[in-house]
Amino acid sequence: MYPERIQKLIDMLIRLPGIGPRQAARLIYRLLDERDDFRESISSGILGLKELKKCVRCYKTHEDKNTMCKICRSETRNSKVYMIVEKDMDLDTIEKTGVHEGFYFVLGGALSPLMPESYKHIRLKNFSDFLEKDNNVEEVILATSATTEGDHTAQFIEKILSPIINKKTSLGKPFNITRLGRGLSTGLELEYSDRETFKSAYLNRR
Ligand SMILES: [Zn+2]
């Protein structure tokens, strides 16, 4: 039985990905050994997270004064290609590879058939509205993870976007939905892939 303050913190920390009760307790006991000013810095760092905001176009988390993130404001990126990713971490991983020169759209999580409410959280409606009005985009790359949820999410996106795409292609506009090629091993979350693996999956998209 932990002291109540510790138990309360454990209950909060285990909501974070990859943190179990034992690991949470270990972190807290470690923090207890630290100096007051270190604990205060951590607290104020966490409080400061509320200053971050989502880009109005791609939903990437950023802290610029502008409403749009740096990537969306870029004039040199390829506006014909958009890549849909599940989360910020995936975007960061891909951006570091320098392979993708187009724009992004951050869904805000994968869809899970086990959690029907996940369908409501998704920002896909905003993206399909954008796509419907846009005349520039020629390819949407679905860069979801090579997991069951990632596959499911990609299929769902294809279904949602297909009427728009059919409309565009019937008007003679070139348009493709592609998915990352094999190379990303099955079950792998995108954020854990390395540059070479991602690059080959990107170049082999179809
Ligand atoms: Zn953006």
Q: Decide if the complex's ipTM is over 0.85.
A: yes
- CATH number, domain 53-203, options 3.40.1360.10, 1.10.3720.10, 3.10.20.310, 3.30.70.2190: 3.40.1360.10
With 90 as the cut, is the pLDDT of residue 39 above it? Answer: yes
Query: Is residue 94 within 8 Å of 105, Cβ to Cβ?
Result: no
How far is the centre of ligand 1, averaged over its atoms, from the C-alpha of 90 (Å)? 14
Determine the Cα–Cα distance for residues 83 and 103; give it in Å rounded to an integer: 6
How far is the centre of ligand 1, averaged over its atoms, from the C-alpha of 122 (Å)? 16
How far is the centre of ligand 1, averaged over its atoms, from the C-alpha of 51 (Å)? 16
How far is the centre of ligand 1, averaged over its atoms, from the C-alpha of 25 (Å)? 37
How far is the centre of ligand 1, averaged over its atoms, from the C-alpha of 105 (Å)? 7
How far is the centre of ligand 1, averaged over its atoms, from the C-alpha of 69 (Å)? 4
- Across the chain, mean pLDDT equals 89
- pLDDT, tens only, 40-88: 999 999 999 999 999 999 999 999 999 999 999 999 999 999 999 999 9
Cα–Cα distance list, 90 to 106, 169, 170, 176 (Å): 9, 30, 33, 22
Determine the Cα–Cα distance for residues 59 and 123; give it in Å rounded to an integer: 9
How far is the centre of ligand 1, averaged over its atoms, from the C-alpha of 26 (Å)? 37
What is 4-51's CATH topology?
Answer: Helicase, Ruva Protein; domain 3 (1.10.8)
Q: Where are the domains of the chain?
A: 4-51, 53-203
Query: Is residue 99 within 8 Å of 137, Cβ to Cβ?
Result: no
